Amino acid sequence: MINNQAFDRFLKPKYIFWYFWLYAFLTAIFVQFILPTFLPHMFLDGPNGDIGLMNAGDWNLFHTAAIKVFAEMNIYGLDAWQILPSGQGPAGIAALHYWATGIPMPYVLIPMQSFLHGLAAFIFFKITYSIFNSKTAALISAILYLTMPFVLLTYTQISKDVFFNLALLLFLYSLIALIKILFRKELTTKLIIKNNIFKKPLDKFESSFSDFELLYRFLLYVNSDNWINIAKFIFNNHTDYPKIYNILHLNHIFFKDKYFFDLFNTNLPLLDLEGDYINKSQFNFIDHKIEKNELYGTLCIDNKSKNKLLKNIVFKIIRNKNSGTKCETLTSDNLNKIQDSNKHYKDKIHRCIDIAKKLKDANKLLIIPYIKND
SS3 (DSSP) at 287: strand
Instruction: Give the number of other CB atoms < 10 A from CB of residue 237.
Output: 14
How confident is the model over 258-310, as pLDDT tens digits? 899 999 888 888 998 877 888 888 888 898 888 777 789 999 887 554 444 45
Phi-psi region of 82 (alpha: psi -120 to 50; beta: other; left: phi over 0): beta
Q: What is the mean pLDDT of residues 212-241?
A: 90
Beta bridge partners of 278: 270
Query: H or E stretch including 270?
Result: strand 270-272
Q: Residue 187's pLDDT is what? A: 54
Domain locations along the chain: 4-177, 296-367
Average pLDDT of the chain is: 85
Q: Residue 11's pLDDT is what? A: 67
Q: What is the mean pLDDT of residues 187-202?
A: 66
As to burial, measured by CB atoms within 10 angstroms (0-12 exposed, 13-18 middle, 19+ buried), residue 72 is middle
Query: Does residue 356 or residue 133 have the better pLDDT?
Result: 356
Beta bridge partners of 70: none
Q: What is the pTM (predicted TM-score) of this model?
A: 0.55
